[in-house]
Chain A
Amino acid sequence: MIATAAAFCMYVVALAMAMSLWRLLRGPTLPDRILALDTVSINSIALLVLYGIRVGSMVYFEAALVIAMLGFVSTVALSKYVMRRDIVE
């Protein structure tokens, strides 16, 4: 039952990821694209955790943790670049 539910939830999260990818491609301004990239990383965390539930392994949890850290750092770095045209001051 849980594997079936996780498979169905993976379809739902993939639909959410497609919508945020649409915003990433279309987004009128640069902060919209940064926000869409942050949302894509959050969706990929959810997708990896769901795949770990479906397969029944804990390996994918570490990948989700790494994606969470890289997503936050990339969001802050891109925002700093947009604000000051310079990342390391």
Chain B
Amino acid sequence: MNATLEILAVALLAIGSFFVLVGSLGLAKLDDFYKRLHGPTKASTMGVGCILLASIAVHALSSGGLSLRELLVSAFLFITAPVGALMMARAALAIHPQDRPDPPARPQDASRRD
């Protein structure tokens, strides 16, 4: 049981740090702000989420009790990440209004049929 939990914790640590690395790599390498906005969301949901699950497993191993306080950070990040991304996208659109894509063209068939 303990060996299984240890292997699970190490696997969660590996997955979490991989996603944190991928998120920052996307932030550094992508060429447009709206593309770059996608990278760190993986770091905040999958990366930090897996690392916090590994922390739960490690503290369950060391102290024997199951403490769910780490889920508090994870839930807080899950709630606040979309709000922060929305505010940053709106700030970018406020600075560069010419980046806003054109609205889709009106369907011509409907007006012709009238």
Q: A56 to B59, alpha carbons, bound, how many Å?
A: 8
How many Å lie between the Cα of A26 and that of B51 in the bound state? 29
Q: With A61-B73, A68-B73 as given contacts, are A46 and B16 in contact (CB-CB < 8 Å)?
A: yes
Q: Which residues of A contact B24 (CB under 8 A)?
A: 15-17, 19-20, 39, 43
Q: Are B27 and A20 in contact (CB under 8 A)?
A: yes
Question: What 1/0 flags go to A1-33 for Cβ under 8 Å of B?
Answer: 110011011001101110110110000011110
User: Which of the listed residues B21, B24, B55, B92 has the most CB atoms from chain A within 10 Å of its own CB?
Assistant: B24
The residue on B at minimum CB distance from A26 is B28
- Chain B 31-60 interface mask (CB, 8 Å, partner A; 1/0): 001001101100110011001101100110
Q: List B14-29 residues whose CB lies under 8 Å from chain A.
A: 14, 16-18, 20-21, 23-25, 27-28
> Which applies to chain B's interface (DSSP): helix, strand, loop or mixed?
helix
Query: Would B13 and A6 count as touching, CB distance under 8 A?
Result: yes
Interface string of A42-65 (1 = CB under 8 A from B): 110110011011001010010011
Q: Which residues of the partner chain B approach A61 to less than 8 Å between Cβ atoms?
A: 55, 69-70, 73
Q: In whole angstroms, what is the CA distance A32 to B30 when docked?
A: 11
- The verdict on B105 contacting chain A, using a C-beta distance below 8 Å, is no
A interface, by DSSP: helix, strand, loop or mixed? helix
**Could you tell me which A residues sit within 8 Å of B by CB distance?**
1-2, 5-6, 8-9, 12-13, 15-17, 19-20, 22-23, 29-32, 34-36, 38-39, 42-43, 45-46, 49-50, 52-53, 56, 58, 61, 64-65, 68-69, 72, 75-76, 78-80, 82-84
26 A–B pairs (Cβ distance < 8 Å), ordered by A: A1-B6, A2-B13, A2-B58, A12-B21, A13-B17, A19-B25, A19-B28, A29-B95, A30-B91, A31-B33, A31-B88, A32-B33, A35-B37, A39-B27, A42-B77, A43-B24, A46-B16, A58-B69, A61-B70, A65-B76, A68-B73, A76-B87, A82-B95, A83-B87, A83-B94, A84-B94
